[in-house]
Amino acid sequence: MSASASEPIAIIGMGCRFPGGVETPGGLWRLAAERRRTMGPVPPERWDSARLGALHSPEVALRAGRGCFLDGDMWAWDPEAFSVAPLERDWVDPQFRVLMEVAWEAVEHAGIPVDRLRGSRTGVYAGTYAPDNLFREARPVQDAPNSPYLFGNFTAGAAGRVAFSMDLRGPVMVISTHCSSGLVALDTACGALTLGDCDTALAGATLLMLSPETHFHEAPLLLSERGGCYAFDARADGYVRGEGAGMLVLKRLSDAIRDEDRVLAVIRGSAVNNDGQATRLTAPSSALQQQLFRAAVDSAGIDPGEVGLVEAHGPGTAVGDPVEYTSVNAVYGRGKGRCALGSVKTNIGHSEPVSGIAGVIKAVECLRRGVIAPNAVFDEWNPAIPRDDGSRLFVPEEPTEWPVDGERRFAAACSYGVTGTNAHVVLESAPLPKRAASKRPSTEDVVRVFRCPARPRNRCG
């Protein structure tokens, strides 16, 4: 069950880590507004890209030799802050570690003391994809018979450890639908709030590239030879993978207003579906995407012509971009004013399960500022895209003022999984506060400092 017009969901806090030194939602906005790109070579502490590349064709080596990586040491962290036992400190998947950090930051960004959530009916919904740390640290059974290695890397730990670190007692689960995992987690959290299964929810996703297996398997089929995500552009030839983690704090809007929370934006509607056998397993279906968009718009109770920004999936693939343009244009292509077709992947790469959450965070920041951030790259339309000359869709190439009639702005975000699971959310700008200041202090761009001693780590060669 998704968010609906009868019980909108408030986003009251956000936390994130993305390439380019992004550690706050405002940092992601600035990176996008400045059209910065974050692609670079594989850091040597992850794996020996040159040695592994020599085992493959030059084309595969080129595609697999870069990505969008987080800054800093992914193995340095403060386990005591998250109630992690000393025995486990070196075994917990770094993907879970960074998700715990951004979850705490999102709660603090919401102005809620973490102690107030302890023992509460707060749910955690986390999207994940590849267990890279499991690949990286694998040992023969005879070499590590008593280690907590498997326990530290079970996928369920992504959500379970967030809940344990804060003593949260609502529904806690991991969602895995490949690239759409994060947005499906968000939709699931909205449904739980609407049904009354929890009173507060954390929804997000995490991805770190810690081992070369996933990277090299994707390289020949999906990754860009040019080294970028050229969404809707004539240069589109695949995507560059990107790391990241993001978390949203959610409440029913009525509860957020009652509690005088600072509302960042409102989820008016959301929907999830699957392509079934509409086409082959890994190919997108425009017909099913259009059904998805209309279901989300119907649940939001709005006219799609009012939406001024569609934060697209937009990975820059030969098949995906033309299909998505057709779908978005069919539902959002006519209406009031222009409608931007955005893609944060042009800045931070394709963070796969996190990509939908990244799109929502960017869209929320655009709604809050009344300015649409540009795509990092766009020269000319991909000739494979069936352009509609009467469409109001455009690709933003510079920060664009977002005028509206009245006070409300609407945006939408898209995410599609490679095995057919699609998700879509419709967002509205926050209602104007009834009082000049909330009781909760603003924590915009405040970064929580965790004690992170250097940790010994194994290197994959």
Note the pLDDT tens digit of each residue in 185-225: 999 999 999 999 999 999 999 999 999 999 999 999 999 99
What pTM was computed for the model? 0.93
Enumerate residue ranges in the chain where pLDDT < 70: 1-6, 140-142, 144-147, 434-461
The one-letter amino acid code at 31 reads L
Tokens of 269: 């509607």
Residues 132 and 68: their CA atoms lie apart, in Å, by 16
Q: Determine the pLDDT at residue 448.
A: 52
What tens digit of pLDDT does each residue of 39-61 get? 999 999 999 999 999 989 999 99
Query: What CATH architecture is 9-429?
Result: 3-Layer(aba) Sandwich (3.40)
- Cβ atoms of residues 460 and 216 within 8 Å: no
Q: What is the DSSP letter of 333?
A: S
Measuring CA to CA, which residue among 229, 376, 408 is closest to residue 308? 408
Q: Determine the pLDDT at residue 357.
A: 99
Q: 73: Cβ–Cβ under 8 A, 6 or more apart, which residues? A: 45, 452, 454, 455
**Which residue is associated with the tokens 């991991």?**
174
How many other C-beta atoms can be found within 10 angstroms of the C-beta atom of residue 241?
25
Residues 166 and 285: their CA atoms lie apart, in Å, by 40
Q: Determine the pLDDT at residue 1.
A: 47
CA distances from 407 to 29, 93, 221, 431, 444 (A): 21, 44, 45, 8, 22
- Cβ atoms of residues 74 and 136 within 8 Å: no
Measuring CA to CA, which residue among 342, 47, 325 is closest to residue 212? 47
CA distances from 74 to 70, 161, 208, 348, 412 (A): 8, 17, 9, 17, 32
